[in-house]
């Protein structure tokens, strides 16, 4: 299980995402069935180090730590920058049970 540190964010939208990316973070979202989605931000450098080391990154299970909460997720979709080695956005899917 790969552990990531995340921060909840309140604002969404293009301008807020651009500002977030200037601070070496990037926007992400956790989709939950029958519940509202959770907007989060993740550290670009932390996740790139993990991405470069692990094979089948997209098929791994993750634990995201948001202050006192631990949320178990898997990746739904990843968006990369067209020519830089950077994430633009990651969509996660909430897991009720660890598989």
pLDDT at 99 over 70: no
Helix (H, G, I), strand (E, B) or coil at 38: strand
**How high is the pLDDT of residue 98?**
58
pLDDT in tens, 54-81: 988 899 999 999 988 899 999 999 999 9
- CATH code of the region 2-94: 2.40.240.10
What residues contact residue 63 under an 8 Å CB cut-off, 6+ apart? Answer: 1, 2, 3, 4, 70, 71, 72, 73
pLDDT in tens, 43-57: 999 999 999 999 888
| Separation CA 94–CA 76 (nearest Å) | 10
Return the domain boundaries, the chain. 2-94
DSSP state of 90: E
Q: Which residues of 61-73 are buried (b: 16+ CB within 10 A; e: fewer)?
A: ebebeeeeeebbb
């Amino acid at each position: 299980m790969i552990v990531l540190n995340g921060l909840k964010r309140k604002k969404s939208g293009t301008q807020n995402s651009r500002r977030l990316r200037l601070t070496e973070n990037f926007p992400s979202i956790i989709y939950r069935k029958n519940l509202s989605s959770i907007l989060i931000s993740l550290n670009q450098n932390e996740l790139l180090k993990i991405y470069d080391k692990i094979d089948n990154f997209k098929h791994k299970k993750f634990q995201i730590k948001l202050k006192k909460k631990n949320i178990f997720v898997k990746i739904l979709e990843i968006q990369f920058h067209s020519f830089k080695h950077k994430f633009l956005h990651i969509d996660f899917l909430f897991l009720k049970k660890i598989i």
